[in-house]
Every structure is written in structure tokens, then in C-alpha cells.
Amino acid sequence: MKLTVDQRWDLIDKIAKQTVTFGEYKHTLKDAIGELTVKPLTGIPIAIAVMYAFWSVFGSFAGTLFTDGFMVKLFDGRFLPWIQDIFPGAGGWLYYIIVGNPLADNSFEAFGMLTSGLFVAIGIVLPAIFIFYLMLALLEDIGYMPRLAVLIDTVLHRIGLHGYAIVPTILSLGCNVPGVAATRILETRKQRFIMMTLLAIFIPCGAQIGIMEKVIPDTMGWVLLYLIGGYFLFGYILNKIIPGRSPEFLIDVPPYRKPMISNLRKKVWVRIAGFFKVALPFVLLGCGIVNVLYLTGFIDWIGNVLSPVFVSWFGVPEATVGPLIAAFLRKDLAVAQLSVIEMTPYQMITSVVLVSIYFPCVATFAMMIKEGAKELLGALAVLFAVVFLYGGLIHLIGILLGVA
Amino acid sequence: MNVLLMGHPNVGKSVFFNRLTGANVTESNYPGTTVDFTKGWMKIDGEDAELVDVPGTFSLDPKDKAEEVAVAMLHENKDAKVICVIDASKIERGVYLALEILEEGYPMVIALNMWDAAVDKNILVDVNNLQRILGVPVVPTVAISGEGIRELTSKLKEAKPVEINDIIKNAGCLT
């Protein structure tokens, strides 16, 4: 037998009256902290502090301690000379693909599969996403994320989303793949479409952020500013033009809890393992494929074809076309390649922003197909429009500021 | 045997799942984490049973994609038993979902999870009475520390479909 909604609640009322007794409720310290972090007046400064702490720990541990302090020394000092020495046929095509430039004195400029590819994956990206996921797991398990969602709700409504959208957004800062999966917690197709499109275009993943910190620390602030600006600007536009509903959001804010070490460990491990399975093959393969494309002259050819667009519309050097093609396989790799191209700081900002927004990496792409081919096509249409408009806009801003 | 683990988002289903199967699922302190459902195996009285960690859902009337998955999974497994995980300090909402599932004729065991948090808040649930009214086994649990998990699995074989009319009678309603 089926009950109506009202009958069901009636019945539950009767059951609850007979089974539940409420004692006197004492306001605990936990409740007080919970309220402080959710009320805008105190919550927003706390949220900024938390984000700043997150960022500082990320930068100092991942960048300074692991990458510069350990990995760079290991790869440049030991591994690179060793593999350059031991791999046969210096100057040949196989050497070029696997090891790269035989005269390179650091792992960045070699650009072989086993030199730059391995260094980027293990030396830079791995520490970055490890620290990122560890801290995210901590924030999740303590119960801070729903509070952040409540705080940011109003702002996200402007772009057709609501507070929960912070979950896919932050997950994407680690890797866009789980971010795309997490868009399922949004209710309507409109919201999922907007979220997925914005993620794919404007949210740089941990790999990209890690590598930006390493190779363009001075200009990275500008890159992030342009990406955040684009996220809200195009979110606002999409919200206006996409039909559909953006419902209000009701959230059950859980109490703060003590995180369980075993759960943290498991969570970080699962995510790191995911990185090794999904991202590592793409980094190495991407490196190899790009080298092959260079060897066959394809990149020079497409560079020539596209150079009018790149040089006159986006205002970046022709040489950036190659990295942009590599970006489809791995964006972190593309940023590394850009960093060794001769250009002005503003061109660097423009080209790194372009790498970020121009196309989702293969792994994200595959995930988006899984979520809905129709949505993907729509997202791609938006993407091309955004790249063209936003790339031009950034160039224009540069011209107006007199730096481009 | 097929066992579905169901309940609201963020009541500790995935911790249950880990406890019962020892598999790699992670639980976050926010809803919506388990979007791809997870399967695992557990032993009940020496017999293998398949346990499915269903995404959290508030009702059988889905409002987002994760909930649609949950409802579809319930309907695909007509002969499954259900472990319904309920937040012990907010049983009204959990019982709503439990009733919906019972109305569709699924045998069920109820876990009153986060029992410790309810005690902290001075909320006390009369387990025996609740069990009498609903006619299904009810077990207080603390999934994180493992309290009550063994009792819950041992009660699983007692789970049987109940008549909603009986529940109404037991609750003392006239309608």
C-alpha cells in the first residue's frame, strides 16, 4: 500500500511522538564555532583566512620544499645527466622523442618523454596534488565545505548556480575529472551545463597551478585573476542565455567532526592513485606525441596556418601554437613549454590563460562525454566563442594598459 | 543475496560500506560524494552477499541526478534487502525515506547511525518502541567506531517486508 505525502508525515509525527524524547539542549563550543564560520560578518573573514592558509601551505610545501628542495636537485643533478649519457643515439629521432635536447642542463628544457615528461609528472605535479588533496580532505572531513557553500551561495546565484557549486569548483582545482563527476549534485540540467562549461574552461587544475608556481611565479597572479574574472563574467552571460531553472538551495550543515586519520589516508591515496592511472600516461604520451608532431613538421605547418589569429588577434608569438596543441593532452606540460619561449610578460600571461581556457585535457574530455554528449557539444561551442572573445579581450586590455 | 545500503546524503553510508566490506570508498563530511555507486562483498552467516553503496537520497522522488541513480538502483533490485541508515538525531526525515521503501515491499533493517551525536544533543530514541511500531529490526550504531555493526548484520536475516497498515495500527492511528 502507498501513502500520500501528508499521510506519511502524519504517521511519522505519531511515531516520533512515541519514540523520541528531547532533553535540554546545551549550546556547545562546537555550535558556537559552527555559527561563527557561517554568519557572513565573521564567516567571510574566516573563509578568506582559511583560503589564504590553504594557499600558503600549498605553495611552501609543494613548491618550495618538495619540488625545489628535493625533486629539482634529484632530476637535474642526477637523473638528467645520467639518462642523457646512457641513452644511445644522441641526435637521432628516437633520442629526441625519449630524451629530447642532449645539451639541456635542466629537466624543463629537454622536452623528452622521460626527462621533462617524468619531471613534470613526478617532480612538480605529484607534490602539488598530494598537498592539495591532503588539505582538501582535511577541510572535507572537518565539515568546513558546507559552510563555505552557504557563504558563497549569494555570489554563485548570480551565475546561475548555488552554494553547492563550490564543491565541483574546488575539486577541479585538484583535477577537473572528479570535478566534472561532482556536477551531478546540482539539480537542473541548466546548472550542470553552466558548471561543466565553466570548469572545463576556467578552472586550472592542480597540475597547472603547480607548474605555474614553478615557472611563472611573477605573472601567475594575473593569470589567476583573468581566470577568476572569466569564470564570473561568462557564468553571468551563460546564466542569461541558457534556458532552464536555477533552484534555491537547501543545505544540511553537518556538525564539525574530528577527522579520522584512516579516512584521510585512504581518500588521499585513492585520489593520488587516480592521478597515476589517468594523468601520468597522458603526460608521457603527450610529451612523445608532441615531439613526433615537431619532428614531422606538423606543428610548424599549423603554426603558419594559425599564426595570423595568434599574432594579430591574441597578440602572442607564433611559437605558442605548439604548446597549445600539446595542451589537449596535458595542460601542465604546455605551460612548461611556454615558459621557455621568448616573449614579453604580458604575452606570457595571455598565452598561459589561453592554454587554460582553450580546451579541456583528454581525461576531462572523456569524462564530459560520459556525462552527456549533447552537453559536451554545447560546452565546446561556448568554449570556442569564449577563447576567441576572451583572448581578444585580454589582448585589448593589454593594449589599453600599454603593455601588450 | 543482494543488500542495498540506503539513506540520506551524509549519514555515514560509505563508512558502513567500508566497515562491512573493507573496500576503498571514502566518506566526506558533505553530501554528494558517492556519485558512482560502489559494490562490494560481505559475509552474512558464512554466506556471500553483494552490498551496494547507493548514493544518498532524501526521498524516492528524485530531485537531482545522484538521487535518480539511487531510485533506479532500488527499482532494478526487486529482491534486495535494504539497510536504511538514519541519522539518530533526526529520525523523522530518515523514517520518511524508510516508509517509502517499505511501502514498495522491500525487507529492511534500520541503522540509527551517529547515535553518539544524538546522545550528545540529549536526544533519546526509544529503540524497542520504534522496532515494535515499524515491525523491522532497528539497531543504534556509530559507524565511525564500529559500534552496532555486528548486531546490524546479524539482524539482516530477520528483515522481512511489512504491511503499512500494520505500522499505522501499531502507531495507534485511527485512519
The residue ranking higher by pLDDT, B9 or B102, is B102
**CA of A362 vs chain B CAs: smallest distance (Å):** 20
Contacting residues of A for B15, CB less than 8 Å apart: 263
SS3 of residue B48 by DSSP: strand
Q: Do A140 and B29 touch (CB under 8 A)?
A: yes
Q: Is the CB of A2 inside 8 Å of chain B's CB atoms?
A: yes
Q: Do A22 and B100 touch (CB under 8 A)?
A: no
Read off the DSSP letter of residue A100: B
Q: Is the CB of A243 inside 8 Å of chain B's CB atoms?
A: no
Q: Over 50: is that where the pLDDT of B2 sits? A: yes
Contacting residues of A for B117, CB less than 8 Å apart: 255
Which pLDDT tens digit goes with each residue over A371-398? Answer: 778 888 888 899 889 988 999 999 999 9
Q: Is the CB of A18 inside 8 Å of chain B's CB atoms?
A: yes
Q: Is the CB of A23 inside 8 Å of chain B's CB atoms?
A: yes
Q: Is the CB of A16 inside 8 Å of chain B's CB atoms?
A: yes
Helix (H) or strand (E) holding A22: strand A20-22
The residue ranking higher by pLDDT, A44 or A358, is A44
Which among A16, A184, A270 has CB closest to B64?
A184
Mean pLDDT of B92-107: 93
Contacting residues of B for A24, CB less than 8 Å apart: 122
**CA of B157 vs chain A CAs: smallest distance (Å):** 23
Ranking A169-173, A282-286, A360-364, B20-24 by mean pLDDT, the lowest is B20-24
CA angle B81, B86, B91 (to 5 degrees): 130
DSSP string of A319-387?
A: GGHHHHHHTTT-HHHHHHHHHTS---HHHHHHHHHHHHHH---HHHHHHHHHH-HHHHHHHHHHHHHHH
Which among A1, A142, A143 has CB closest to B103?
A1
Q: Is the CB of A4 inside 8 Å of chain B's CB atoms?
A: no
Q: How far apart are CA A115 and CA A79, in angstroms?
A: 8
Q: Do A12 and B96 touch (CB under 8 A)?
A: yes
The residue ranking higher by pLDDT, A46 or A187, is A46
Contacting residues of A for B28, CB less than 8 Å apart: 140-141, 145, 267
Q: Do A16 and B168 touch (CB under 8 A)?
A: no
Q: Do B172 and A14 touch (CB under 8 A)?
A: yes
Which pLDDT tens digit goes with each residue over A258-298? Answer: 887 877 887 788 778 877 776 677 777 777 887 888 888 88
Place B63 in a pLDDT band, splitting at 50, 70 and 90: confident
The torsion angles phi and psi of B170, rounded to 5 degrees, stand at -60, -30
Phi-psi group of A245: left, alpha or beta (phi > 0 → left; psi -120 to 50 → alpha; rest → beta): beta
Q: How far apart are CA B36 and CA B43, in angstroms?
A: 23
SS3 of residue B84 by DSSP: strand
Contacting residues of A for B29, CB less than 8 Å apart: 140-143, 145-146, 254, 257
**CA of B130 vs chain A CAs: smallest distance (Å):** 6
Question: What's residue A195's pLDDT?
Answer: 92
Q: Do A22 and B122 touch (CB under 8 A)?
A: yes
Q: How far apart are CA B27 and CA A264, in angstroms?
A: 9
Q: How far apart are CA A70 and CA A206, in angstroms?
A: 19
Asked if residues B77 and B51 have their Cβ atoms less than 8 Å apart, the reply is no
Contacting residues of A for B120, CB less than 8 Å apart: 28
| Residue that is written with C-alpha cell 566490506 in the block | B21
Asked if residues B4 and B45 have their Cβ atoms less than 8 Å apart, the reply is no
**Neighbouring C-alpha atoms within 13 Å toward the C-beta of B1:** 18
Question: What's residue B33's pLDDT?
Answer: 47
Which among B28, B100, B124 has CB closest to A141?
B28
Measuring CA to CA, how many Å separate B31 from each of A247, A254, B26?
Answer: 17, 9, 12
The torsion angles phi and psi of B53, rounded to 5 degrees, stand at -90, 95
Mean pLDDT of B36-48: 74
The predicted complex's ipTM stands at: 0.85
Which among A8, A184, A192 has CB closest to B99?
A8
Q: Which residue of chain A has the CA closest to B15?
A: A263
Q: How far apart are CA B39 and CA A13, in angstroms?
A: 35
Amino acid code (one letter) for A243: P
Q: Do A146 and B29 touch (CB under 8 A)?
A: yes
Ranking A108-112, A119-123, A128-132, A144-148 by mean pLDDT, the lowest is A108-112
| Residue that is written with C-alpha cell 582559511 in the block | A50
Asked if residues A54 and A135 have their Cβ atoms less than 8 Å apart, the reply is yes
Question: What's residue B12's pLDDT?
Answer: 81
- Expressed in percent and rounded to 5, the helix, strand and coil fractions of chain A are 80, 0, 20
Place B37 in a pLDDT band, splitting at 50, 70 and 90: low
Neighbours of B147 (CB within 10 A): 16
**Neighbouring C-alpha atoms within 13 Å toward the C-beta of A91:** 0
Mean pLDDT of B88-94: 91
Question: What's residue A297's pLDDT?
Answer: 84
Cα distance from N-terminal residue to C-terminal residue, chain A: 72
Q: How buried is residue B34: exposed, middle or buried, by Cβ count under 10 Å (0-12/13-18/19+)?
A: buried
Helix (H) or strand (E) holding A12: helix A5-19
Q: Do B164 and A260 touch (CB under 8 A)?
A: no
**CA of A234 vs chain B CAs: smallest distance (Å):** 24
Q: For chain B, give every domain's residue range.
A: 2-170
Superfamily name and number for B2-170 = P-loop containing nucleotide triphosphate hydrolases (3.40.50.300)
H runs (alpha helix) in A20-101: 29-36, 40-57, 72, 80-86, 93-98
